[in-house]
Amino acid sequence: AQSVSQHNHHVILSEAASLELGCNYSYGGTVNLFWYVQYPGQHLQLLLKYFSGDPLVKGIKGFEAEFIKSKFSFNLRKPSVQWSDTAEYFCAVNEDYKLSFGAGTTVTVRA
Amino acid sequence: DVKVTQSSRYLVKRTGEKVFLECVQDMDHENMFWYRQDPGLGLRLIYFSYDVKMKEKGDIPEGYSVSREKKERFSLILESASTNQTSMYLCASPPGGEGPDEQYFGPGTRLTVT
């Protein structure tokens, strides 16, 4: 099974700060990569995904992620966070038709 | 608008009870998944189904079973609930019949076993 590592368990930052969340996965050939977000009390929803092509992908709400194949990484970034970005973020990697998820990173943005 | 619904948002059961968690999708998808979400562990796949009456074990199937009699409905069954099954249970379904794709998640059922 794929192994997905998210480097930070909890990140606390102030509004307007930049955010970068790390994600690494175990080698498995061709991969499809996802970042999901869960806002307090809401469903898990897709932020962005990478299947092929440009390794820099843009998602909703100003998020982007960069796929670096040589490093088996898919890090999530946002240049300037808002209080509303407070949520839990999950990196996921496909394996056949299944997704393997990382442990999640809780992001708290202070106003 | 795609929709995955789960029968209960909160459930409290006693140890040893048989528990049914229901999931319904209105998207005519073939694939459906059950995960449990625990702090510090992320989401872990319990079972999935790629067609009616078809099921496959995920990473942590022990203590669980599933049923898929109709395409739109996928049930997770705890045969004899235990306290270590206290968790958030999420149902999900991807849009495509072939290949991996994003998954649409239900709102979750928070199960407490006492």
DSSP secondary structure, A40-100, as one string: TTS-EEEEEEE-SS-SEEE-GGG-EEEEEGGGTEEEEEESS--GGG-EEEEEEEEETTEEE
Question: Which comes out higher in pLDDT, residue B88 or B94?
Answer: B88
pLDDT attached to residue B1: 63
Share of chain A above pLDDT 90, in %: 75
Nearest to B102 among A6, A49, A96 (CB): A49
H or E segment at B20?
strand B19-25
**Cα dihedral sign for A91, A93, A94, A100?**
negative
Strands A4-6 and A44-50: unpaired
How far apart are the CA of A104 and the nearest CA of chain B, in angstroms?
A: 5
pLDDT band at A91 (very low <50, low <70, confident <90, very high): very high
A-chain CB neighbours of B31 within 8 Å are 97
Closest Cα to residue A63, out of A41, A32, A34? A34
Interchain contact, B102 vs A1, CB within 8 Å: no
pLDDT (mean) for B67-77: 96
Mutate to test the interface with A, among B31, B33, B43 (most CBs of A within 10 A): B43
B-chain CB neighbours of A104 within 8 Å are 40, 42
Interface A-B, measured as beta-carbon pairs within 8 A, has a size of 49
Express each pLDDT in A16-48 by its tens digit. 999 999 999 996 677 889 999 999 989 899 999
pLDDT attached to residue B9: 92
How far apart are the CA of A60 and the nearest CA of chain B, in angstroms?
A: 14
CA B77/CA A36 separation, integer angstroms: 26
Q: Is the pLDDT of residue A78 over 80?
A: yes
pLDDT attached to residue A27: 67
Interchain contact, B58 vs A9, CB within 8 Å: no
